[in-house]
A and B are shown apart, each in its own frame.
Chain A
Amino acid sequence: MDNLVITAASQVNDGDLLTARLGGRFGRMDRLSQLALLAVERLGAAFDAQPRDRVGICLAVRAGSLSTDVEYWKGRDLAGGLSPTLFTYTLPSSAIGEIAIRHRLTGPNLCFVGNGPALLVEAEDLIRRGETDACVCVFCDSITATAAELIQEPASAQAWAVFLERNGEGVILSPENGRDIASLCVNFCARKSANETNHASLA
């Protein structure tokens, strides 16, 4: 059985958004989509080698689109009424659309509300079943202050992304490595630094 390998990983937070320049549409997106899109951008050109219809997008969103829902609904009594743009982002899966459009990825999609290892478990299943050959997996934790108060959770603005494919250089998806995306990102970056140090010392 092939190993499934994480060949790219990234983590971003709202501070990173300040300097992000991802084209004309970026400013119109909600923060959730911005974080997700930036995290995928920072994976680098990891999936350029794949046929675009064989790359899936799997997304997990900790508190759904609640933060965007709050922002959208605030506009109900303003002159002019509700924002049609914001309404299109009041879905946890909107970020999938933005990722797909930017990177022209036409493979299968999954989106869960909540956190936990389901994201990578299901992405692995998609690949092993042959429904796709690789997955962009993103976990977004974006809760604004207002939403945080509503659900009694701390505010947050982070996203993690990994690229999962059959074989390749990186962190193997093994029972030991677990399925927590944040830990896997840390694991990947540590491994990458160690390799770079090794190469530097060999040079």
Chain B
Amino acid sequence: MREPNVAVAGYGAVTAVGRGVDALRSALQSNASGLSPCERFNHPRFQSNIVGATPPNGGGDDPAHCLATEALREARDRARDSLAPIPAERIGLILSTTKANIEALERLSDGRPCSGAARRHLQADLLAADLAAEHGARGPVQCTSVACVSGLIALQQGAKWIQRGAADAVFVVGTDHLSAFVVAGFTALKSIDPIGCRPFDRDRCGLSPGEAGAAIVLMRADLAPDAAIQIRGWGSSNDANHMTGPARDGSGLARAIRAALNTAGLRPEEVDYANAHGTGTSYNDAMESVALRTVFGDACPPFSALKGMLGHTLGAAGVVETIACVLAMENRLLPGTPRLNASADGAPSSLVKTPRAAGRLNHVLKVNTGFGGVNAAIILSHG
């Protein structure tokens, strides 16, 4: 791994289990699920009304911006001591989102009121530019949008910027809001679980749409001496198989995991915990099980999935699920798999159902996969 090291100096989140990272930590400890019926989606156009919705914050026409702002404020606040001496020109921002403020398209299409700002934030790059300006990031700005692996790719990019000296700190912000656009789309693909997703469960049959704002402040490790967790390795790959169906042999994801282990300089047996993508669809979870076995053989580390807690938060998933991994490491906790009842036959036996204290959590693997055959993995390590 190249110098300098990249540390997680701060984090912030607003999710289906509440506002702020403290709410997320509590939910991890109690294995809670934030999935619930949402009246907005009581309509035949939607396969289910059970989603992972954030607490209401007054509605509004710019939910993508709202979620991102709230998360970024908390992350900056938590990192304020380390951030204070860093000049704005040395702070970058990377936005991770699949649909940006798609709310604006729905409103404009229906002839409903839509402010200039909301309309502007339909364009993800402009949303990124505005967030950077609003939060004092005058360094490089970028918007990654790689389906459901956007968040991990954004974190990789942030780490690379710091390692090559393009920035000393990077705000990595993930945002995607619940929308008729997306829920109706997954309905058209018939890929929603009517009773709420159950990752790695024998009876799983689909995903649950979710929303979140999540932000991580990445920083040169020497500038954040109190930050314990670092991003140590990463990788990505493509299945080159099918637009929505993962390669059954898990080879693409296995490749991404191996690339991450490579850049981290770690052997598979050094991974203490893995956080899966675990959407709850039949194909995804089966493929991940195969990928994990391919990389780890019979010695798969404890692993779990959190979409039963948060829903599938798309562009925010990689960021919020990484925050969950950081919390797990800070609290020496192995997260469970909310809403899991009976494990699927093919799932490795190290699947963690309910949370428990971890013996050792030095190195954690986080993975995501997405439409278009994309796979991504990062390794988090204690510095």
Q: Do A's and B's CB atoms come within 8 Å in the complex? A: yes
Inter-subunit contact A92/B145 (CB<8 Å) = yes
Q: Would you list 6 pairs from A and B whose C-beta atoms are within 8 A, ordered by A residue?
A: A66-B122, A69-B105, A87-B186, A109-B153, A109-B236, A125-B160
Q: Which of B45, B144, B186, B372 contacts A110 (CB 8 A)?
A: B144
Interface residues of A (CB under 8 A from B): 52-53, 57, 61, 63-64, 66, 69-70, 72-74, 76, 81-84, 87-88, 90-94, 96-98, 100-101, 103-114, 118, 122, 125, 129, 131, 150-151
Inter-subunit contact A131/B263 (CB<8 Å) = yes
Given contacts A64-B145, A97-B374, A150-B105, contact A108 B259 (CB under 8 A): yes
Q: For residue A63, which residues in chain B have a CB less than 8 angstroms away from its CB?
A: 123
Per the CB 8 Å criterion, the residue count for chain B at the interface is 56
Inter-subunit contact B238/A97 (CB<8 Å) = yes
Tell me the B338-354 residues at the A interface (CB within 8 Å): none
Q: Taking CB as reference atom, which chain A residue is nearest B44? A: A81
A143 CB to nearest chain B CB (Å):
11
Interface residues of B (CB under 8 A from A): 2, 45, 98-100, 102, 105-106, 108-109, 119, 122-125, 128, 142-147, 149, 153, 157, 160, 164, 180-181, 184-190, 235-244, 251-252, 255, 259, 263, 370-374
- Counting from the closest, the 8 A-B pairs by CB-CB distance are A97-B372, A114-B125, A87-B185, A100-B238, A84-B188, A113-B124, A100-B240, A108-B236
Inter-subunit contact B102/A69 (CB<8 Å) = yes
Beyond A81-B45, A110-B144, A113-B124, 13 extra complex contacts between A and B, CB < 8 Å: A53-B255, A64-B125, A73-B105, A88-B244, A91-B371, A96-B372, A98-B372, A100-B238, A105-B238, A106-B238, A113-B125, A129-B160, A131-B259
Q: For residue B2, which residues in chain A have a CB less than 8 angstroms away from its CB?
A: 129
Inter-subunit contact B239/A100 (CB<8 Å) = yes
Inter-subunit contact A112/B142 (CB<8 Å) = yes
Inter-subunit contact B188/A82 (CB<8 Å) = yes
Q: For residue B181, which residues in chain A have a CB less than 8 angstroms away from its CB?
A: 69, 72-73, 90
